[in-house]
Structure 1
């Protein structure tokens, strides 16, 4: 039997183990397909950070969709999920670029209308870059919920489902993230 066929049989066995309650077995699938799905996502979103986010979200969707998996080729199935996730992400990013950013996020003030459009766009881009850098400084457990809630526009319930936690946990993480931001970020950086 060729390597691909053996891998398919192994994948099916791992899926069966996860569905039988051995949730830790899912880690094997993540390790096996993480880079593959990352490259699938990168080919759609064309940004390494966005591709990482898409890959993580794809694995969350794969995990939650496993009970509906019908042994129709695991690699094909997860590729379809990751591709759809990447397409959704690309659409959200495109819409976000077309819409004006919400300066109210995290207490930033509205830009001064007296600036010429070029300077306004430059300042806006600098603020966005600063915001992305600062978000990457957040502790990882806060960063995930901040990105999901504020940037991916997920509801508390959607985030709870993706992370396999209670909705109260998501509320708590967002509250703590806001507290962390207030302690570590200077408001004047975003003006």
Structure 2
């Protein structure tokens, strides 16, 4: 089992782990960050975090565990990036050149795959969560906007999103590959 070898510091086991999961972790990070460069950076950070956190791994749901680490790393990165960006003036940001480091065809394919996966997963949600999850994660609306548009109390929106997250964690376990 390569996880035991990985915990033992076997370089080949780490290579096997990277070959098996790096693309998956990249897709997870990309789904949060929407930037190839940022997703690549976060994927590398995630791989190192997983390696250093192996002693805390409980032996259940490996893919779920690494996905959680990747999502948390991506969210932390995005928050940090957003805070830095907020420090800049709007006028200065408008003069920055837009760099394209990704092949447009590759970007289209990645976005298409991501959208299909998200649509499929959202369709699996119970009706009571689906609209709120779609509005928050896909349409990127604030809790306040969702509450106003769906005639809900702000606390109801918070509660539905919290319960939807719990549902997703419980029901969307990934297939294990070891």
What TM-score comes out, normalization by structure 1 length?
A: 0.48
Runs of 4+ deviating beyond 6 Å: none
Q: Give the Å deviation of 1:76.
A: 0.7
1:91 has 2:71 as partner = no
Q: Give the Å deviation of 1:100.
A: 2.1
Q: What are the ranges of 5 or more consecutive residues in structure 2 without an aligned counterpart?
A: 102-178
Indicate the structure whose relative CO is greater, using CA pairs within 8 Å and at least 6 residues apart.
2
Question: Which among 54, 72, 84 is matched to residue 66 of structure 1?
Answer: 54
1:120-159 matched pairs, under 5 angstroms: 120-123=92-95, 125-126=96-97
Task: Flag the structure with larger Rg.
Answer: 1
What TM-score comes out, normalization by structure 2 length?
A: 0.51
Contact 2:26–2:43 (CA under 8 A) maintained in structure 1? yes
Identify if the C-alpha distance between structure 1 residues 14 and 92 changes in structure 2 by more than 3 Å, giving closer, same or farther. Answer: same
1:27 has 2:15 as partner = yes
Identify if the C-alpha distance between structure 1 residues 44 and 20 changes in structure 2 by more than 3 Å, giving closer, same or farther. Answer: same
Contact 2:25–2:70 (CA under 8 A) maintained in structure 1? yes
**Which digits, 9 at most, give the CA deviation of each residue in 1:63-113, with x for residues without a partner?**
111111110111111000000000001111111111128xxxxxxxxxxxx
Q: What are the ranges of 5 or more consecutive residues in structure 1 without an aligned counterpart?
A: 1-12, 102-116, 134-191
Identify if the C-alpha distance between structure 1 residues 22 and 94 changes in structure 2 by more than 3 Å, giving closer, same or farther. Answer: same
Q: Give the Å deviation of 1:21.
A: 3.5
Q: Give the Å deviation of 1:41.
A: 0.4
Please report the RMSD computed on the Cα atoms of aligned residues, expressed in angstroms: 2.3
CA distance in 2, matches of 1:121, 1:36: 32
CA distance in 1, matches of 2:13, 2:93: 48
